[in-house]
Copies of this chain bind each other. A is one copy, B any other.
Amino acid sequence: MVLDNDRADTKIVDVARLAGCSPATVSRVLNNNPSVDPDVRDRVMRAATQLGYVRNGSARALRSTKSRTVGVIIPTLDHAIYATMVHSLQARLAEKDVSVIINTSMYDIDIEFEQAKLLVERGVESVVLVGSIHRVETLAMLEQRNIAYVFTYTSMTTDVGAAVGFDNIKAGAMAARYLVDLGHTRLAMIAGITQNNDRASARRDGFLDELERHGISRDNVSIAESAYKIEGGRDAMRRLMTAPNPPSAVFCGSDIIAAGAIKYCHAEGIQVPEDVSVFGFDNLEVAELTHPELTTIEVPARDMGTIAAEYLLATPVQRQHMRQRELSLRLVVRASTAPRKRNA
């Protein structure tokens, strides 16, 4: 059977023929090379449209070593904090006709390495990564091939990479300070999963360090870990609250976890914030849906995506001035935290 492919495989020569010029000229027009006579340019454009010509990206990439494609490897798309970042990243890059290949690593740096290899094979010009913990092979491979990379959700980077994010240690400290200022002395944290997650562990460390600065030994601070799910937060909160000396304030590694923690309290008749203050992280949409609404720290997910995009869009020289971008964190005070009660 013969398919009607006439217009489907139009190539540059076809356009050239119709426009009455050489393929090279067509190429120039298509690439906005200014040194083309306006009339010719016009004829070429017309011919291209008429034939429904679409450039062959593979051939272009092969010849020019420019793929106009970037790769992103995030832990998961199932968490709004990452989905939002990718959303704004993609939106900005699309304006410049740069495509985004997305990969999820499930917080596993070995999987991340595999995906990075695939991205290299696809010829991406740069890669967006989350956090600053990666297999050395991953970064070595990218550096070797001269593929730019940017870390996000962190402000730490390498000699050759860049970072767009915030300081997770400060974030943890910010939460600690706020809770301490409220008079709390019996504190705990539900930290997310800290293994292979430098953001989660930095938040924990920042929290603990700041507490120590206020005279609260880390030995007296219970740390629970939990998946970034409501269920996980609920279970972790149960562990914390049924232990011998339950906390009067809990810092959660994510609003989702905090939402679960609050749910547990509801079920058990524990009053938030009267009996226990719950502090979240991320300032997701859910932070306004819990009862009471969550006090939290806003993570600039959208900005990170946009700014990372700007970095990737910049020329190598411009990038020099954009290699570290620490975004500020905003404390969002709502109703899930309150001063420590007398003898609480």
Contact = CB atoms under 8 A, between A and B. Distances in A.
A137 to B, nearest CB: 10
Interface in A77-130: 77-78, 80, 83-84, 86-87, 90-91, 94, 97, 99-104, 115, 117-123
Contact of A145 (B8, B77, B286): B8
Interface string A289-324: 111000000000000000000000000000000000
A118 B97 contact: yes
Contacts of A139: none
Contacts of A133: none
Number of copies: 2
A117 B54 contact: yes
A27 interface: no
Nearest to A62: B58
A129 B52 CA distance: 22
Interface string A198-234: 0000000000000000000000000000000110000
A58 B90 contact: no
A158 interface: no
Contacts of A8: 144-146
A47 interface: no
Contacts of A288: 230, 263
Contacts of A97: 118
A5 B117 CA distance: 17
B77 A104 contact: no
Given A77-B87, A90-B77, A146-B3, A56 B101 contact: no
A122 B69 contact: yes
Interface string A12-23: 000000000000
Nearest to A231: B288
A241 interface: no
Interface residues of A, number: 57
Contacts of A54: 117, 120-121, 145
Contact of A55 (B3, B56, B121): B121
Contacts of A334: none
A33 interface: no
A193 B59 CA distance: 41
B86 A289 contact: no
Contacts of A141: 52
Contacts of A84: 77-78
Contacts of A37: none
Contact of A100 (B101, B285, B290): B101
A256 interface: yes
Given A104-B91, A115-B94, A144-B8, A99 B122 contact: yes
Nearest to A82: B83
Interface in A46-64: 52, 54-59, 61-62
Interface of A: 3-5, 7-8, 52, 54-59, 61-62, 67, 69, 76-78, 80, 83-84, 86-87, 90-91, 94, 97, 99-104, 115, 117-123, 141, 144-146, 229-230, 256, 259, 263, 285-286, 288-291
12 contacts: A5-B146, A8-B144, A52-B141, A58-B67, A58-B123, A76-B87, A77-B86, A99-B103, A100-B103, A230-B289, A263-B289, A291-B291
